[in-house]
Structure formats: structure tokens, C-alpha cells
Amino acid sequence: MNKIVLLDAKTLGSDLDLTCFERFGQVTIYPFTRPEQVLERSAGCNVVICNKVVFAEREMRALPQLELICVTATGTNNIDLRAAARLGIAVCNIKGYSTESVAQHTFAMLFYLLEHSRYYDEYVKSGAYTGDEIFTHFARTFHELSALRWGIVGLGAIGRRVAQLAALFGAQVMYYSTTGLNASGEGEYTRVDKETLLRESDILSIHAPLTEQTKDFLRYEEMCQMKPTAILLNLGRGGIVREADLAKALEERRIAAAGLDVLEQEPIQAENPLLRIQDSDRLLITPHIAWASIEARNRMTGEIMQNMESYFAGGRRNRVDG
């Protein structure tokens, strides 16, 4: 019988039914696993399911029965893929499960900032609206999307979905290819260079992975090239936007506002300079939840099961220790 361990079930949410994995064997589930607990909890298991738990060559060599690692995410940066290949350990990740969820969260963050939702809600609830002279209030202005230019960094599945939705609102969509190779959006959307993207975007949303090309993609110098009315949204990865520089740019009003769902270190560190900015009209931070709709997480577990089924149906690998 297969022995399966899920090392960080808490990262999937407590409302999911994880008994589905029992069809493949005996399952042990841990809500959270620290680095020093990995070997003990994975001992004797031939399948490991994890999200953020690190498996380097050391861990793999210490687990001679391990033959399959199922990563409950698209990114596999926590797994030493070269070591896994050398040792004959299969690694499966999942793709496409969160596209709709992240696209939706992008617009949720945008509208909150664009239409000054917090300010107007507090204006009413404070009692100020009760004693106003007219039926409306114009203290904070906003624009229709059809009057704005939306720049996108990363025209993968999520970036393309955001582009489609932005276009439905009438926004003029343009994109920047971080590798210089992506021409998939040409004909539908305008591909521009980085300088044009920064200079002309009213909304700049990031949906790219963290790579050598995207690390520190937006620093203070680049933010100073943006419109002072621009809204920046990062739903890609922390590290693409240099956070200390963003705090400075917001404090100096180099840009109007920013919405972040990802950070360089998660959970956020107490010394993060962004915590200086308490004005939620100008900075909105959510705790890496854009991917986490119930539907997306159910798709995630379904894809993990498909990966396991394909692996066992396709013939198992032999370990190559040595």
C-alpha cells in the first residue's frame, strides 16, 4: 500500500475535504511542518504532498522510499528539481487552477483603490453624510476604465485573463514581455517597451513569476517614471517590486496607490517599510489570498489527484541513489 504524507495542509485551507487522497493509499496529514520535522514525518512514505516545504537533495537522499513529490502550487522553487531527476523522483505541480480567482482579485483590489471605497464607506458611517446638504459627495474623484490605459507585466494565463476583462470594460490594454520573447498578445494587445509601459500606464498590474528578468523589476527610479495618478497592482510575486522603494514612492506621492497580494517575505515582517503606510486609500495589502477562492482550491486538489493517478497508471520510477 502507498504511504502518503501531506506536510502542510494548513496552506490549503481547513474547509477542504482531503480524504480524497485516501483512494491512493494510507494518508497522514499534518497542518504545518517545520524544516527539522520533514525527515521524521516523511520517513517510509513513497508520496509527499507539500506546498512550501523545502526538499533539497539532502532530504531526498535521506528518504530512500520517496518516489513522487506533489507540489500543491504552480511554482516548484522549493524543490531541487535537478536532484530529483538524478535520483529518479518524479515531481508534479499544478497549473491553471487559480486563473479566474487571481483575475477576480486583481479587479477587487483595483476598484477598492480606484473608486476610494474605504473613504466613501467611512464618510457615510461616520455620520458626515447624514448632515450633508446634497445627495452626493465629490471629495475623491475617480475615472471609468474606458478612459484609462492598463499596462500588464506577464501575459501568461492570468495576465491574459486580466487583459480580456480589462478590455471588456473598455480599457486600452498594453503589455510588456519580461523575456523579450512573448509575442502571444500581439494583434490583440499592444506590446510596448518598459519605458512606454511605465510612462503611459494608468493602471500597471504584474502577473509574472519571479525570475532573473523580473527581480527588482520596479525600483524607485522606475516608479518615478510613472504617472503620479497611476495605480500599481502586484499579484505576481514578491521581489518583483522593491518594497522599500515602493514605500518611498508612495510617501512622496510619486504614484497614487498600490495594491499588493504578494510580498518578498511572507508572512510580512514587522520591519517591512510598507507598514509605515497606514492609509488604506493609498496602499492595500492582502495576505497572498488572490489564488484562494473555494473553487480554485477544489480545482487544486482535483489536479493533485489527477497527477497521482497519472503517475501510478503510467508505471512507477525506480530510485537511482548513488
The catalytic residues are 237, 266, 288
- Alpha-carbon span 296 to 298, nearest angstrom: 5
Q: Report residue 173: phi and psi, to 5°.
A: -100, 130
The angle formed by the CA atoms of residues 179, 262 and 286, to the nearest 5 degrees, is 145
Tally the residues of the chain.
Answer: 322
Max CA separation in the chain (angstroms): 81
Residues 225/195, Cβ–Cβ less than 8 Å:
yes
Output the nine-digit C-alpha cell for 9. Answer: 495542509
Q: Rg of the chain over CA atoms, in angstroms?
A: 23
Contact predicate 231/114, CB 8 Å: yes
Contacts by residues 242-246 (CB-CB < 8 Å, ≥ 24 positions apart): 242/216, 242/218, 243/272, 243/273, 243/274, 244/273, 245/218, 245/219, 245/220, 246/218, 246/274
